[in-house]
């Protein structure tokens, strides 16, 4: 594809994405979703051997997908005739060489980071990549394509699409996180971005370096993407740059949401249908089941993510009728299951509660990790390392949390903070698998 073709493709899709932002009421949103789904259903059933038998079924009767099934049926789900072995070979070569330009015809191939286990493989045609970029621009740059901005993208994998849609006023710079971090900092300083986008842990590390005088940038906007934004990292970044940290809810399965002017994350229901699989209805926690209304090369239909989302109780002041979230709490793998006070069953302790207990115990803590080592054993590491005072404060805070939840106090093992690189997503809370069927919850 030529630069001109890509630029025009993004521009046209950008205009369409801006029109979709005029969907104001739930009735308008749902009507748009149904129109798109009817068109998508026919196209997918015609082109995907896996989904052909579902042609006449309503959406709620299409198969429920998760990563293992998606990969197991990769060859028959995708509509491009690409095999899993072909896709893996190209994606692994790109990861190894750091050259992400090669494609299989019109289709680019990528690998997910594998936070929840085995890595996933995803496909996107050039038109789908244009639509993703156009939607992102429409939602994050209200000034339009003629806005004057220098956008730095801290990413683990790049795309030459950013180069083709940039111009004299709107510029993009991909900065590879898998190079020495000193080189990342130098490129940031040379580029002097006005908008900084990246995973939370990478942004937090840049902020720490700046606090120590090892970096000097002054972005007008900072946008956290691809990872859960921990309140510890958020506070550090906001102190460093003096701006409210925005968020993008982005996954292999699509561009799912972003913050509004009030800091609320809204799901992009003009692009995806989101069904709620309730984890804790009383506390408004659910796992999203996502159907992408525009991805055809590798259809994303009723794909259940293992993210834990907490729905906002009250309507957002911005007035949007798109589903509003109080927060993205993490993944189901981040839930710690512990015995209740009667020791007759096990109950969930969500990452948010553990995080707040540890940070409230000692405001000087700048990093931490909680790992469930056994059914009744938690390993805890902090930075700075735990001395007697900090250890006792953490134990007291956790005892209060578990008493409130009517959970038996587990054994706590204090450990050294493990090394962690930018090649993988950060998970500060790691649980063991949930009891079968959550029967004890």
User: Tens of pLDDT along 119-169?
Assistant: 678 899 989 988 888 888 888 887 777 778 899 998 876 655 555 555 557
Instruction: Check whether residue 73 and residue 179 sit in a common domain.
Output: no
User: Within its chain, how far is the Cα of 156 from the centroid?
Assistant: 13
Q: Any bridge partners for residue 346, and if so which? A: 339
- Residue 437, pLDDT score: 53
pTM for the whole structure: 0.81
* High-pLDDT (> 90) share of the chain, %: 47
CA-closest candidate to residue 126, choices 293, 295, 1: 1
Residue 64 lies in a domain: yes
Count how many domains the chain has.
3
356: three-class secondary structure by DSSP = helix
pLDDT of 270 above 90: yes
User: Tens of pLDDT along 299-351?
Assistant: 999 999 989 999 999 999 999 999 999 999 888 777 888 998 887 788 888 88
Longest dimension (CA), the chain: 67
Burial (0-12, 13-18, 19+ Cβ within 10 Å), 295: buried
- Residue 21, pLDDT score: 85
- Structural domain boundaries, residue 172: 143-252
User: Tens of pLDDT along 184-239?
Assistant: 999 999 999 999 999 888 898 899 899 999 889 999 999 998 788 888 889 999 99
Helix-strand-coil split of the chain, %, nearest 5: 35, 25, 35
Residue 307 lies in a domain: no
Instruction: Check whether residue 172 and residue 201 sit in a common domain.
Output: yes
Cβ–Cβ < 8 Å for 314, 409: no
Residue 373 lies in a domain: yes
- Residue 363, pLDDT score: 76
Residue 137 lies in a domain: no
Instruction: Check whether residue 52 and residue 148 sit in a common domain.
Output: no
Residue 365 lies in a domain: yes
- Mean pLDDT score of the chain, rounded to an integer? 87
Q: Which helix (H) or strand (E) holds 132?
A: helix 126-140
Residue 119 lies in a domain: yes
Kindly tell me the sign of the dihedral angle through the C-alpha atoms of 411, 416, 421, 426: positive
Helices (H), 327-375: 351-361
Q: What CATH number does the domain containing 223 carry?
A: 3.40.50.980
Query: How confident is the model over 92-112, as a mean pLDDT?
Result: 83
Q: In degrees, to the nearest 5, what angle opens at C-alpha 140 toward C-alphas 139 and 141?
A: 100
């Amino acid at each position: 594809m030529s630069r001109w073709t890509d630029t025009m493709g993004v521009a046209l899709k950008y205009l369409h994405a801006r029109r979709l932002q005029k969907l104001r009421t739930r009735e308008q949103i749902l009507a748009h979703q149904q129109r798109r789904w009817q068109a998508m259903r026919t196209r997918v059933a015609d082109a995907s051997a896996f989904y052909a038998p579902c042609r006449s079924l309503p959406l709620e009767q299409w198969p429920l997908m998760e990563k293992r099934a998606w990969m197991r049926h990769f060859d028959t789900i995708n509509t491009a005739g690409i095999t899993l072995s072909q896709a893996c070979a190209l994606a692994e070569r790109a990861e190894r060489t750091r050259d992400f330009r090669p494609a299989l015809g019109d289709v680019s191939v990528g690998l997910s980071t594998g936070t929840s286990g085995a890595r996933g493989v995803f496909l996107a045609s050039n038109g789908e990549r244009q639509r993703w970029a156009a939607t992102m621009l429409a939602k994050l740059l209200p000034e339009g394509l003629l806005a004057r901005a220098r956008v730095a993208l801290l990413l683990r994998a790049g795309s030459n699409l950013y180069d083709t849609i940039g111009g004299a006023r709107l510029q993009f710079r991909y900065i590879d996180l898998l190079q020495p971090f000193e080189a990342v900092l130098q490129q940031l300083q040379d580029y002097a971005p006005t908008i900084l986008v990246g995973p939370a842990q990478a942004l937090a590390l840049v902020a720490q370096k700046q606090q120590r005088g090892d970096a000097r940038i002054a972005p007008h906007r900072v946008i956290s993407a691809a990872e859960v934004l921990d309140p510890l990292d958020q506070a550090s970044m906001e102190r460093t740059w003096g701006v409210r940290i925005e968020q993008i809810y982005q996954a292999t399965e699509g561009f799912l949401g972003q913050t509004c002017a009030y800091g609320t994350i809204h799901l992009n229901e003009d692009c995806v249908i989101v069904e709620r699989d309730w984890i804790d209805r009383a506390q408004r926690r659910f796992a999203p089941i996502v159907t992408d209304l525009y991805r055809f090369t590798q259809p994303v239909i009723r794909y259940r993510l293992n993210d834990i989302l907490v729905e906002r109780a009250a309507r957002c002041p911005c007035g949007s009728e798109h589903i509003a979230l109080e927060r993205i709490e993490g993944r189901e793998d981040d839930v710690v299951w512990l015995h209740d006070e009667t020791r007759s069953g096990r109950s969930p302790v969500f990452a948010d509660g553990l995080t707040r207990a540890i940070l409230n115990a000692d405001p000087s803590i700048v990093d931490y990790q909680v790992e469930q080592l056994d059914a009744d054993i938690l390993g805890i590491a902090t930075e700075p390392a735990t001395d007697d005072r900090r250890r006792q404060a953490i134990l007291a805070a956790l005892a209060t949390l578990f008493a409130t939840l009517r959970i038996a106090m587990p054994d706590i093992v204090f450990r050294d903070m493990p090394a962690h690189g930018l090649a993988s997503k950060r998970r500060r809370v790691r649980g063991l698998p949930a009891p079968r069927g959550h029967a004890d919850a």
